[in-house]
Structure 1
C-alpha cells in the first residue's frame, strides 16, 4: 500500500498551458536546471551516487546550491522545499501555476514534486525536460516511466541521419520523440495510454518541441501512413497474456506482440526508411531462436538483429519484478512469479533474449538479414555503427557477384589491429592463432589464418581486390580460384563488420 503522499498524487495528469510551459522553461534556464547545470552542482561523486539510487550525497551537495539546489531537491530528490524558496526558484512561474499544471503539490507549508520533471539532452544539443511519474508509483497499472536504461539503450542505437518524417511508436513520456526532433522535420508520437500522452505533451511543451500526438494501440493511429524513421520502445516483456503494467506488458502471450510488430512495421516505412526498436524473444526448447525471429520478417527487408542479453526464466522474472518495485519476498510477488514461471515452463522456454532490431525497406535489390550476439558492454554508441552497417550492406548489394567484389577496392579500416596468440613450449613460444579486432564500436573480432592476415595487410585500396588475391595466391603457391573461394565469403563478413571498408 503506497504511503499517503504517493496515494494523493497517484493519478496526476499534467496539463501545461503554453504560458506556464514558457514561464517554467525560463525559470529552469535562469537557475541552470539543465543536465550540465545539475552535473556541475552535484559533482562527479554525488552525480554517480544519484545514478545508483543513492540520494544522500546529492542532498548534502545541494545544501548550498541556491535556487538550483532547491529545484534539484524538490524535483529530483523528492524533498519538500519552503514556499518562499520555491517561489524564487520557479520565477517567473508561480508555484500555484506549477501545481495547477500537475507538476508540484502542497506539502504543509512547502511544496514537493507531484511528477518527475528532470533535465535531459543530447550531447551538444538543446536543453530538454522530461515529465514522467515518480518511481514511488511504479506499481500503478498506468505508470509512465521516465528516462531509463532501456530508453537510453535505444536512443544510443538510433540512426541520426536527417529525415523528413519520424514516428515514435509507444512514445511514453516522449524521450525518443525528443531525439527524433533533432534530425527529423516532422515527428509523430503515438501511445495507447492517455496518461502517457499527457506526460509526453508536457515534455514537449517544456522542451519547446513540436510533436504530433495520436492515441491508439500499436500502428492503428497511423494506418495508411509511411515514415522515413520509426523508433519504438514497446511493451516487450514476454510473459502470460495479461497486462499488469501498461509500459511493460503487451497483453499478448510470450513474444507474439513482437512477431506481429515486425511483420507490420515495414509497410509503414518509405523506401529506404529505417525502423529501430527494442525487443525480447523466447528461446524455445528444440527451436533455433534466430530462425524464430527472422521468420516474423516479411520478404525483402534489411534486418540487423543484435541480441544484447540472455536471461534464464528465473532471472527474467526477477528482473522485471524488481523493475516494478516489488518485494521479491512478499507473498503476492511470489505468487505472481510462480504463475509467470509456470507459464514459461509450459511454453518450453529455456531463456529470454533481449536486443536491438533495425529494419529497412531497401530501395533496390533483395534484403539482407543478419542475426548476431553482441553481449557485454559496448563503450561507443551503436547509432553510428548501425548507420555504417546499413551503408556497407548497400555497398555489398551493389557488388553481388564474385566478379563485382574482385573488381572493387577495399581497405582495412582505421583502428583495426592484428592480435596473435601463442603458448609456451619446450622450444619457446608457439603461435596458436590470430585475430583481427576493431578497437572502436562493438569491437568485432574475427579469427584469421596466415593467408587471411596477409590478405588484410594487402588491402590498402590501391588496387582491386582481385589483384590482391592474385598476388597472394602466387606468393603462397595456391590456385587463384581456391583462394577466391576461401577469401570472398570472409571478405563480405569483414565488410559488414567494418573491418574492411570500401576505398
Structure 2
C-alpha cells in the first residue's frame, strides 16, 4: 500500500494550474507540440518520437517528459517549468520526487498528471503512476489513470442535460469531469481514501465544485436520488478477494455487477438513467441473457450490450499483466492457478463484458433487451443509448396502433445483397439491412420483408402495405400482421425504421 495519503492544498493546485496554463500543458498544446504521429505513437506505448519532439520545447517539453514519458529531468528545469509552484511544495506534496542512485541529480514525477480533453476543452487528471513508470507492481490502493475502460464509459454515457449526477466509484474523477459538461450538481463517491484525495486534486486543478463522499456502493447517498448515475465499478470477476481496490470488489464472480444492476434504479429519479460497465459470467448450460435479466428490479428499462466474451485463461493473463505481474513468475503462476481453479469449479466458460443502460420507469411492462455488439464502430454509444430509450418510449406509446403508422426507412439505412451464380444467373443468397452510422446495426431479411420495407417511403400506413403484400404474394393477411409486429419493433428500436412526419 502507498505509505501516505497525498494532500494537494488549494494553493498548490492553483499554482500548478498556473504553471500548466503558462506552458500550454493541455490537450491541444501537447498535440500541437508533438504532432499527430508522435502523439499517436505515445498512445501506443512508444515514447521515443514524443521524446524527440519535446527535446527543445522549454517548459512544455519538460512537463511532457516528466509526466507523460516518466523521464528524469534536471532540478533547475523542473523548478522553472513548475513556477509559480515552489519546487519545495511540489516535493512535499509528492508531485515530483528526487531520483536516488543516479550520477546526475534529477527529479521524476510522483503522480501521473496529464491533460485529458473533449471537443469543448481540456482538463488535467491526477492518478498514480502506472507500474511501468513507477518501476514496481501496482499497490493495493493504486488509483488508475484514464484507461480504455474509462474512455469507453465516457463514450457510452448520454450527455443530455441533467440536474444531478452521481459518479459512483469515481477513482481519478474522469467521469465527473465529463459530467460537468451537462450537469448542474455532481456527487462523486469512492471506498478508497486515496482515490478521493486524488479525485479532489483533479477537481481542484480544474476549478470544479464536486461533492465527494466516502463509502461502499450506495451507502454514502442513502435515501437520495439522481437524474443520472455513471459507474465504472470494480468489475473483474473471480474469487471473492480484494488484491486491488480499483478492480476487485470482494464479491464472488459477477456479484458486483449484479449488485449494481439490482440497486442502482432505486437511486434514480423517475425517468433517470444509469450508465455502467459490467461483467457477467457465461456458465455451462446457462444463457447469459437469462442471467443478467434476473438481476433487474421491477420498473426498470434495461439495455445490455455485450462487447466482448473472454476465454478464462486469456482473461486471467490480461488482468495479471495489468497490475505489473508477470504470469511466468512464481507469484503470477500461483495467482493464475487459483483464479483458473475457481473458474473451473464454477463451470465458467467465458466472461462477458459490456455496457448497461438502465432507466427508472413507472410502467408495469418495462423493456429489457440483451444483444451482442462485438463489431467495431466509431460513433459514441451514449447518444445511441439516449435515442434507444426515446424509441422505447415511442413503441410503448404506439403499442396498440403499431401497424397504423406511416413509416419510412431513414437515409442512413441501406440494403446489401450477396448473390451467387446459379443455373439461371445470379441468385440472391443474403439480404442484409445495414445502418451506416451509430453502432452499425445489421438485420438479415427474407424476400417478403425486403419487399415490405421497400414500400416504407412515408406514404402508406404499414397496415395498407401488409394488405398489398399479402394480395401480391398470395399470403394470409393476418399471418403477415402477426409476423410484422416484432420485426417492426426491433427495427424501430435500432433506428432502422421511423415514423414519417
TM-score by shorter chain over 0.5: yes
Q: 1:462 aligns with which of 452, 459, 468?
A: 459
3-state SS of paired residue (1:127): strand
Alpha-carbon distance between aligned partners in 2 of 1:151 and 1:239, rounded to the nearest angstrom: 21
- CA drift of 1:112 comes to 1.5
Alpha-carbon distance between aligned partners in 1 of 2:499 and 2:85, rounded to the nearest angstrom: 56
Q: How does 1:12-161 map to 2 (within 5 A)?
A: 13-107=5-99, 109-123=105-119, 125-136=120-131, 137-161=136-160
Alpha-carbon distance between aligned partners in 2 of 1:357 and 1:189, rounded to the nearest angstrom: 19
Alpha-carbon distance between aligned partners in 2 of 1:250 and 1:122, rounded to the nearest angstrom: 30
User: Are the counterparts in 2 of residues 312 and 350 from structure 1 also a CA contact under 8 Å?
Assistant: yes
Alpha-carbon distance between aligned partners in 2 of 1:420 and 1:190, rounded to the nearest angstrom: 51
Q: How does 1:94-493 map to 2 (within 5 A)?
A: 94-107=86-99, 109-123=105-119, 125-136=120-131, 137-364=136-363, 366-401=365-400, 404-493=401-490
What is the root-mean-square deviation in Å for CA atoms of aligned residues?
A: 1.6
Alpha-carbon distance between aligned partners in 1 of 2:31 and 2:5, rounded to the nearest angstrom: 29
- CA drift of 1:12 comes to 5.4
- CA drift of 1:436 comes to 0.6
- CA drift of 1:25 comes to 1.4
Alpha-carbon distance between aligned partners in 2 of 1:148 and 1:264, rounded to the nearest angstrom: 26
- CA drift of 1:388 comes to 1.0
User: Are the counterparts in 2 of residues 127 and 207 from structure 1 also a CA contact under 8 Å?
Assistant: no
Alpha-carbon distance between aligned partners in 2 of 1:62 and 1:438, rounded to the nearest angstrom: 43
Alpha-carbon distance between aligned partners in 1 of 2:4 and 2:110, rounded to the nearest angstrom: 7
Q: Would the alpha carbon gap of residues 481 and 18 (structure 1) be closer, same or farther in structure 2, given more than 3 Å must change?
A: same
Alpha-carbon distance between aligned partners in 2 of 1:177 and 1:350, rounded to the nearest angstrom: 35
- CA drift of 1:43 comes to 1.5
Alpha-carbon distance between aligned partners in 1 of 2:79 and 2:301, rounded to the nearest angstrom: 54
Say how many residue pairs are matched: 492
User: Are the counterparts in 2 of residues 228 and 270 from structure 1 also a CA contact under 8 Å?
Assistant: yes
Specify the alignment match of 1:4 in structure 2.
Answer: none
Alpha-carbon distance between aligned partners in 1 of 2:478 and 2:22, rounded to the nearest angstrom: 70
User: Are 1:497 and 2:489 counterparts?
Assistant: no
3-state SS of paired residue (1:462): strand
Flag structure 2 segments of 5+ consecutive residues without an equivalent: none
3-state SS of paired residue (1:225): coil
Alpha-carbon distance between aligned partners in 1 of 2:94 and 2:406, rounded to the nearest angstrom: 61
Q: Is 363-372 or 486-495 further displaced after alignment? A: 363-372
3-state SS of paired residue (2:354): strand
Alpha-carbon distance between aligned partners in 1 of 2:448 and 2:342, rounded to the nearest angstrom: 51
Alpha-carbon distance between aligned partners in 2 of 1:97 and 1:399, rounded to the nearest angstrom: 64
- CA drift of 1:363 comes to 4.5
3-state SS of paired residue (1:498): coil
Alpha-carbon distance between aligned partners in 2 of 1:358 and 1:479, rounded to the nearest angstrom: 39
Alpha-carbon distance between aligned partners in 2 of 1:39 and 1:138, rounded to the nearest angstrom: 30
TM-score normalised to the size of structure 1? 0.95
Q: Is 52-61 or 489-498 further displaced after alignment? A: 52-61
Alpha-carbon distance between aligned partners in 2 of 1:140 and 1:296, rounded to the nearest angstrom: 32
1:8-49 CA-partner distances (Å, limit 9, x unpaired): xx4453322222212221221221111111112112222122
- CA drift of 1:391 comes to 0.5
Alpha-carbon distance between aligned partners in 2 of 1:117 and 1:12, rounded to the nearest angstrom: 18
Q: Is 61-70 or 91-100 further displaced after alignment? A: 91-100
Alpha-carbon distance between aligned partners in 2 of 1:427 and 1:466, rounded to the nearest angstrom: 35
Alpha-carbon distance between aligned partners in 2 of 1:502 and 1:85, rounded to the nearest angstrom: 63
Flag structure 1 segments of 5+ consecutive residues without an equivalent: 1-6
User: Are the counterparts in 1 of residues 16 and 84 from structure 2 also a CA contact under 8 Å?
Assistant: yes
3-state SS of paired residue (1:185): strand
User: Are the counterparts in 1 of residues 273 and 360 from structure 2 also a CA contact under 8 Å?
Assistant: yes
